[in-house]
Amino acid sequence: MADGRSFREGVDILNESDDLLDVENHVPDEDIAAVAAEAVRSNGPAVRFSETSGVVTPVSGAFAGPEQATQYREKPWTRLALALGLGTDTPYQRVVERVAGPLAATTEPEETELLAESSDADCYSLGLPPLNPGEPPAFTLGVLAIKDGDETQWLPVRGTVRGTNRLRAVIPTNSAIQPGAAVSLCLGVPAAALTNTILHWLDRTQTGSIRPSTRSDAVSIAKHEGVTVPATSEVLVTGRVADFEVGASSSDIKTAWELAMDTDVVDISVDVVAHRDSPRVPFVPLGTPLTDDIQLVGIVESARLNYRVNNYWGIAPAEWIRLPGEMGLGMCVVASEILYAGFEWQLSNTLFSFSNLFDKILILDEDTSAADLSRPLDDIWVKAHPSQDWVFSEPSAPAATAPKYRTDGTPGSRLFINATWDPRWDEEYIAPRVTYETSYPEEVRQTVSEMWDDLGFDSSNSS
């Protein structure tokens, strides 16, 4: 079985890695979103709110990460890597490969014992924090398990508490949900359950494929009230669909996965609330840049595109693909081998056909690192001439769904920027990249290193 961690284990790993702030003072429910948002804006650690008025312990930033516009040492995918059972120094490409796993092969999960136990808690006493003062309690990052014949579907979900025994949930359109269907809201699920589920629905809505499974051997499962759920779920709220509004508007504030697909709104009549001891649940202050949902969707969509592109031509030209959270998922950055003159145009059209999230693509040379966002920004100006390498389409392309500058659905232009060296150029005509190693002789660098040591500084990273 793959080494996927439960949500609780992932939070504990963050604590051991000194990347978790434990707020032990009591924080009113209506203030939790503001504190969580400030932690994200400040590139702070994940935050665990240990003292709240309800049953649950909200954790914000468990899958988020710092921005790379002003720093490059901390990687925005590290927390997700830890949650998936990888290490702190895992390279970006390895994380993407793990996330895209269900596209490449279907694996069967292990069925095991459910860890949550039935309780006398209701929807209000769980203590889920609101997104804003005066608003109802909210759940922002979960999985909705729906009974579909003999099978169970998993859907990404967010929503609010609407009564002691009533929830209102936002789910993807085209699911098999019907009034009276048995459902279970799963909160505090493993990261792999979230990535598998988001991957399935992104691929289904963006390309029409239903190939990727929402399950894999990274997530153990269990039966609960007739519905298959992640076995390590921290909270399970089980009931039946009461009302179902096809195409109903959810709200102006959306999670990132909602940007990629149409949604429906369902009301759920709750019968049973089960939870683990001192349950931990993720909380996302929606509307804040670089939150958990943005990082999750950015990496999952990048993994999906990386798999699709590298299985499209029969070869794998793309070294890596990223939808940086810093760019609001509105730009796709790809480092690729340029197979022939004009390939950058074909690559861009292929990426645009696979995703409606972005309307801008930046193409980089294949040896560009995914770990430093400043390098691609530099290459825009060094290698891409605005009059030749900034290529706009006719203003008739469908509106991308992630950018906020065109939200009325009207068509517009797409842009790709070719920031690569022309493959027809001889190597000697391409200027070498200026580095510390190439700028100074070995003797000078050795002298500087010795002087650095004499001053009491660490010279291990000086070259």
Q: Please, what are the domains in the chain?
A: 7-282 (2.30.110.10), 310-429 (3.40.1670.10)
Q: What are phi and psi of 22, to 5 degrees?
A: -95, 110
The predicted model gives 52-64 an average pLDDT of 95
CA distance 274 to 277: 10
Distance CA 238, CA 184 (A): 4
C-alpha distances (whole Å) from 404 to each of 331, 357, 361, 410, 439 are 12, 11, 17, 13, 43
Q: pLDDT value at position 228?
A: 94
The pLDDT confidence band at residue 215, using thresholds 50, 70 and 90, is confident
Q: Which amino acid is at 440?
A: Y
- Flag whether pLDDT at 358 surpasses 90: yes
Residue 345 has pLDDT above 80, yes or no: yes
Q: Look at residue 375 in the predicted model and tell me its pLDDT.
A: 80
Select the more confidently predicted residue: 428 or 259: 259
Average pLDDT of 153-170? 95
8 or 2, which is more confident?
8
Average pLDDT over residues 373-389: 82
Q: Please name the amino acid found at residue 6.
A: S
For 334, the token pair is 């790809």
> Binning pLDDT at 50, 70 and 90, where does residue 210 land?
low
pLDDT computed for residue 460 by the predictor: 55
Contact, 266 vs 171, CB < 8 A?
yes
User: Distances in Å between the alpha carbon of 137 and those of 232, 277, 371?
Assistant: 23, 21, 37
Question: What is the rounded distance in angstroms from the CA atom of residue 354 to the CA atom of residue 356?
Answer: 7
Reported as a pLDDT band with limits 50, 70 and 90, residue 157 is very high
Confidence of residue 124 (pLDDT cuts 50, 70, 90): very high
Q: Which residues are CB-contacts of 141 (< 8 A; sequence separation ≥ 6)?
A: 63, 158, 187, 194, 255, 282, 283, 284, 292, 293, 296
Structure tokens at 315: 């070869």
Tokens found for residue 316: 């794998």
Predicted local distance difference test score (pLDDT) of residue 462: 43
Read off the pLDDT of each residue in 330-357 and give the average, rounded to a whole number: 92
Q: What are phi and psi of 257, to 5 degrees?
A: -65, -25
Closest among 422, 423, 397 to 409, alpha carbons compared: 397
Q: Give the pLDDT of residue 425.
A: 55
**Mean pLDDT, the chain, whole residue set:** 88
- The number of residues making up the chain comes to 463
Looking at this protein, which amino acid is placed at residue 438? Answer: T
185 membership: H or E segment, kind and range? strand 182-187
What is the structure's pLDDT at 404?
84
**CA 138 to chain centroid:** 19
Q: Tokens standing for 398?
A: 């469908």
How confident is residue 245, by pLDDT bands cut at 50, 70 and 90?
Answer: low
What confidence tens digit (pLDDT) does each residue in 67-86 have? 887 766 789 999 999 999 99
Place of tokens 């390309």: 207
Q: What is the mean pLDDT of residues 178-199?
A: 94
**Could you tell me the pLDDT band of residue 383, with boundaries at 50, 70 and 90?**
confident
Residues of the chain above pLDDT 70, percent: 91
Q: CA–CA separation, 185 vs 154, rounded Å?
A: 10
pLDDT band at 324 (very low <50, low <70, confident <90, very high): very high
Token couple for 247: 């195409």
Of 374 and 78, which is predicted with more confidence?
78
Q: Tell me: the pLDDT tens digits for 286-322? A: 999 999 999 999 999 999 999 999 999 888 999 999 9
pLDDT class of 427 with cuts at 50, 70, 90:
low
Quick check: 426 pLDDT over 60? no
Give me the sign of the Cα torsion angle 415, 410, 170, 215.
negative
Q: Report residue 435's pLDDT band, with 50, 70 and 90 as the boundaries.
A: low
